[in-house]
Structures are given as C-alpha cells and as structure tokens.
Amino acid sequence: MEKDALARHLGINLTEIRPGYACATLKVTPELLNGEGLTHGSTVFALADIVFAAASNSHGPLALALNISINFLKATKVGAVLTAEAREENLTRKTGLYRLEIKDDEGDLVAIAEGMAFIKGSKNTIH
C-alpha cells in the first residue's frame, strides 16, 4: 500500500491492517468537495476502495477488485474526518468478499459498501 499514489494524494492514512481487515482515515479538505460544498462521492468511494484493497491484499497474494457496490447515507463537509473499515465476510481460494463501512467523526454511517476481490495465484484453502 506504500506505493498507492492516490491514497497519498488524497491524504488517506492507513491506521491498521491485519489479515482480512483494514482501517483508514481521511480529513475532508476543500479540494475534496463537489459543487454543492459537500464531500464528493468519489472521495468517499476512493476511501472505501483503498481500505478494501488493503484488507483484500492482507493475506499476501495479489487481490484485485472485481466489483464494489456503494450506498451513500450521509453527506459531510470540510473538516470532517472519515474513517473506513473493511472486514472480510468470506474468503475462498479465488475470491474474497468484504463489507466496507465509512463513518464520520460523530460515528454516523456515511456510506456502506460491499467489495468482491479476485485472488490471483492464491493457495488459500476454501473457508
């Protein structure tokens, strides 16, 4: 994840990575807003995608996103600190399913998402 230029550019800070789990934070700055002055949906999606990548790659073999489906639940503004968590729901030899939650600094859900990863060259056993 050290090589993730977009995460660095957006100011995303990975705070924890362990097998099947990752957590990251992002402080919303003026550059991350949409035309209405709210946190851009692509900012929230990028945070979810990056924490998903960290969790799905936490076992070692390269994992690549097949799909992410996101639901936006609450708008945020400049200064908000968003925290994203990715939790592994299911892991097979070739795929991993992850639940992603993004919360604001009040602990309210901003978005929930589900991500499916393809595990390339994995030697995992089916769980």
Our measurement of the distance from residue 65's CA atom to the centroid of its chain's CA atoms, rounded to an integer in Å, reads 11
Mean predicted lDDT score pLDDT of the chain? 94
Question: Could you read off the pLDDT of 58-103 as tens digits, one per residue?
Answer: 999 999 999 999 999 999 999 999 999 999 999 999 999 999 999 9
pLDDT value for 104:
98
What domains can be seen in the chain, in order of their start residue? 5-119 (3.10.129.10)
Can you give the pLDDT at residue 125?
Answer: 47
pLDDT digits (tens, 9 = 90+) for 91-116: 999 999 999 999 999 999 999 999 99
**Which phi and psi (to 5°) does residue 95 adopt?**
-140, 160
Query: Which token pair is 82?
Result: 């968003």
pLDDT band at 126 (very low <50, low <70, confident <90, very high): very low
